[in-house]
Structure 1
Amino acid sequence: MNINSYYNKREIAFNKIQDSNTVTKVIMAFIMACFTGIMAQFIIPLPFTPVPITGQTFAVLIAGLFLGKKYGAFSQILYIGIGATLIPWFAGASGGIATLLGSTCGYFVGMVLAAYFVGLISERYVKSRNFTRMTAVVAIANFVIIYIPGLAGLAAWSYFTQGIVLGPIDLIIMGLAPFIIGDIVKILSAGLVSKVFLPKA
Structure 2
Amino acid sequence: MNLEKYYSARKNVFERIQDSSTATKVLMSFMMACFTGIMAQIIIPLPWTPVPITAQTFAVLCSGLFLGKKYGCLSQILYVVLGIAFIPWFGGMTGGLDVFLGATGGFLVGFIIASYFIGSITEKYAEARNFTKMALVIGIANFALIYIPGLAGLALWSSAQGVTLGIVDLLMMGLVPFIMGDIVKILGAASVSKVFLPKE
Aligned positions of 1:15-54 closer than 5 A: 15-54=15-54
The secondary structure found in structure 1 opposite 2:88 is coil
Q: What amino acid is the match of 1:4?
A: E
Distance 1:105 1:16 in 2: 34
Deviations 1:35-94 (A, max 9, x none): 000000000000000000000000000000000000001000000011111110000000
Aligned positions of 1:128-167 closer than 5 A: 128-160=128-160, 162-167=161-166
Q: What amino acid is the match of 1:22?
A: T
Deviations 1:119-164 (A, max 9, x none): 001111110000000000000000000000000000000001x111
What's the TM-score, normalizing by structure 1?
0.99
Distance 1:8 1:20 in 2: 18
Q: What amino acid is the match of 1:191?
A: A
Segments of 5+ residues of structure 2 without an aligned counterpart are: none
The secondary structure found in structure 1 opposite 2:4 is helix
Q: What amino acid is the match of 2:171?
A: I
Partner of 1:111: 111
1:182 aligns with 2:181: yes
- Aligned alpha-carbon RMSD (Å): 0.7
Distance 1:168 1:89 in 2: 30
Runs of 4+ in structure 1 off by over 4 angstroms are: none
The secondary structure found in structure 2 opposite 1:50 is coil
The secondary structure found in structure 1 opposite 2:92 is coil
The secondary structure found in structure 1 opposite 2:164 is coil
Partner of 2:197: 198
CA shift, 1:180, in A, is 0.4
Deviations 1:148-183 (A, max 9, x none): 0000000000001x1111111011000000000100
Percent identity, aligned pairs only, is 64
Number of aligned positions between the proteins: 200
What's the TM-score, normalizing by structure 2?
0.99
Partner of 2:94: 94
